[in-house]
Amino acid sequence: MRGKGPFPVEPWVVREPALDLSVLAQTESVFALSNGHVGLRGNLDEGDPHGIPGTYLNSFYELRPLPYAEAGYGYPESGQTVVDVTNGKLIRLLVDDEPFDVRYGTLLAHERVLDLRAGVLRRSADWVSPAGRRVRVRSTRLVSFAQRAVAAISYEVEAVDADTRVIVQSEMVANEWTPPVSDDPRVSAALESPLIAVDRDLEQHGALLLHRARLSGLLVAAGMHHEVDAPSTVDEETDVREDWVRTTLVCALQPGQRLRVDKMLAYGWSSMRTSAALRDQVAAALRGAAVSGWDGLVRSQRAHLDDFWDAGDVEVEGDPVVQQAVRFGLFHVLQAGARAEQRALPAKGLTGPGYDGHAFWDTEGFVLPVLTWTAPAAAGDALRWRHATLPMARERASTLGMPGATFPWRTIRGQECSAYWPAGTASFHVNADIAYALERYRVATGDLSLEVDCGLELLVETARLWVALGHHDSRGAWHVDGVTGPDEYTAVVDDNCFTNLMAARNLRAAADACARHPQQSRDLGVTMEEASAWRSAAEHVHLPYDEGLGVHPQCQNFTRYAEWDFEGKQDDYPLLLTAPYVRLYRAQVLKQADLVLAMHWCGEHFTDDQKARNVDYYERRTVRDSSLSATTQAVMCAEVGHLELAHDYLHETALTDLRDLQGNTADGLHLAALAGVWGALVEGFGGLRLRGDVLWLDPHLPDGLGRLVFHLRWHGLRLEVDVDREQVRCSVRAGEGPDDSVDLLLSGEPVHVAVGEPVVRPWSRREPLLPRPTQPVGRAPRSHE
């Protein structure tokens, strides 16, 4: 699958026209369904064969020891790992006592289709058993956006050419075997049968199971209920044990007759509630699903997605590959956040066990921009989750001997889970990334309630950390030393440009928010002197600059580091697996965009000439061993006029998972890269920026795109931007808010766009100041052509 496309290019679906068992784990990730609370990997209904079985509940985890060769003060002692909870997807079929298994008999046809508009996964199979009995199997699966705890499967068996007895075994199984997620035997031991049986309950047409995680103590409940439609009598029996429950349905079918089973699933977990309360909660969710029925769940799923696509769709003419990819990415970003409701948004969503199910700065940096502009309620919930972890961030800062809050590099529930010091402790920019996400949400939505409820406190506590970290030199310049920026190949450095600029943004945002809410800021202990110190640091922040080269070093002295031997290392990527970090730290080699990301997010601090020179310099030294990088390189290459190169980078991020470019899609999708397809299109070619409280649009299309249309939510309005080869048209429709117009900068010109009064302006192609740059040997993005 890696590097090639098993999926036909279609605008609204991802289709697998034939089953390829060699890439089963990758397709399980691609076909995963979630609503942000419940996640189901796209395993086959019968469970076997499988790559990685997976049923996940957001923030349900098990504890595990963190490995250290030599411990140190402040090192986290315990990690958190996502748990494969009770699997309710299983529906096994026996045809005249022979199990339906795609590896046996004759599989005449097999297709799976992820429908991005309906929000369902459809599967069809035409199979002949070893004994010659032919059946057609169809299933449709969904995880409900409308009913947060609910997933459902409609399963249908048709006898084709002979009288056939079919047996359907619908199951829930806890502690199913999963492949090891780590080479550390202690991790494997922690996740081997992590669930302890607590209770079980047999109900009419179904059952419930309750388990507790062995070490974290979290309680989980899972339940199933069945509705059966058959042409003849169906014998039904349910058996319940500690770790599994099975409902068996037996029916005789004549040729052309069908047995249909609608299976409702419900999940819940808690760290505080009793097993009885959780059991009743899941039973109630099952009853609600049964009342809605399968058809009702399908209708509500489509209604939710219709509203999302109406306000967030991106239309691309001239590049059908990108058209499919951007909708696929938007769909999975929505799935990750729609009903997360103050839980973390993991880097893999709920699509697989990769990264142990942890959330990183990817959430605020890459995923929340998309949600803020398309599904702002989900973005607000994600920021409220960060606030819920503030006590742990304060505790972490105290452990490190600093005031304020230090948010974790990687976590599930809020505690730091990184055993890698330079990336974990020194990447303080996570604080500023959170502050930027808060600022973006306020400006884009016009909603101050989040800032009042929790945002101000987050801004204040993150600002206090920066003042403790930074210092003024004898000339008054403000520096931040001993940090790691986004590029983890250059660790624990002084004056990382990205970190300094983001820290300054954080400090200004905190001071401005305190000015908007003076009484609340006083309640938080903020004095005029403290706010003034924040502004002074931000105003005097130091940005290294190499006068001789005419570029910004990404950190102090970076441009005097030794050049990396790209010729000798061209077959050794990713470098973190083939080169010692002590060598990487001393050389001009970048894992991912760092200074270039600073220009993307803080572009007002750089001139056009500086942007062009910096892009040229860092293109030649960035190896993109992270899937985060291509998006930013696409955006900034577009801004400096390298539109075709930007188009190439767009393709790279667009196909990260659809073609498994990183070789690890089997562990789950790359949520930030999926969000990055939107970013490369809307921020790159659409030129979307926020400058202060002003919305900027400066579109430029590469030759390969004939038209780009994208939709945004702005202060409750629905804004449409339609760019073709000659002009850009902006129009708005009334939405949920009171506003009926928007003021913005369009290609540098202030315009007023009101409901029913679109604005049309021409645009001209931006010419690059420098020739197209080259990349390290073997690291150029593939051409989109």
The set of catalytic residues is: 488
- To the nearest 10°, the Cα dihedral for 218, 347, 349, 8? -160
Distance of alpha carbon 250 from alpha carbon 433, whole angstroms: 56
Residue 174 one-letter amino acid:
A
Pair of tokens at residue 18 = 């034939």
The Cα-based distances of 255 to 133, 137, 437, 676, 689 in angstroms read 11, 14, 59, 49, 61
Beta strand segments in 632-764, E: 689-691, 694-697, 707-714, 717-724, 727-733, 741-746, 749-754, 759-762
Phi, psi dihedral angles at 434 (to 5 degrees):
-65, -45
- To the nearest 10°, the Cα dihedral for 254, 255, 256, 262? 50
Identify which of 777, 775, 774 has the alpha carbon closest to the alpha carbon of residue 571.
Answer: 777
Distance of alpha carbon 531 from alpha carbon 542, whole angstroms: 19
- SS3 per residue for 529-556: HHHHHHHHHHHCECCCCECCCCECCCCC
- SS3 per residue for 110-176: EEEEEECCCCEEEEEEEEECCCCCEEEEEEEEEECCCCCCEEEEEEEEEECCCCEEEEEEEEEECCC
- Tokens 């994208």 map to which residue? 710
Cis peptide before 574 (omega within 30 of 0): yes
Cβ 618 vs Cβ 640: under 8 Å: no
- Tokens 């003024």 map to which residue? 472
Those residues with Cβ within 8 angstroms of residue 17's Cβ, 6 or more apart along the chain or in another chain: 8, 111
- To the nearest 10°, the Cα dihedral for 290, 294, 298, 304? 0
DSSP notation for 469-524: HEEE-TTS-EEE-SB--S-TTS-SBS--HHHHHHHHHHHHHHHHHHHHSHHHHHHT
Distance of alpha carbon 308 from alpha carbon 171, whole angstroms: 33
Q: Tell me, what DSSP letter sits at residue 653? A: H
Bridge partners (DSSP) listed for residue 114: 14, 121
Please give the helix or strand (H or E) that residue 212 lies within, else none.
strand 206-213
Those residues with Cβ within 8 angstroms of residue 380's Cβ, 6 or more apart along the chain or in another chain: 441, 445, 447, 450
Residue 265 half-sphere exposure toward CB, CA atoms < 13 A: 27
Both ends of the chain: CA-CA distance in Å? 20
Identify which of 499, 437, 512, 493 has the alpha carbon closest to the alpha carbon of residue 465.
Answer: 499
Q: Tell me, what DSSP letter sits at residue 590? A: B
Distance of alpha carbon 156 from alpha carbon 583, whole angstroms: 58
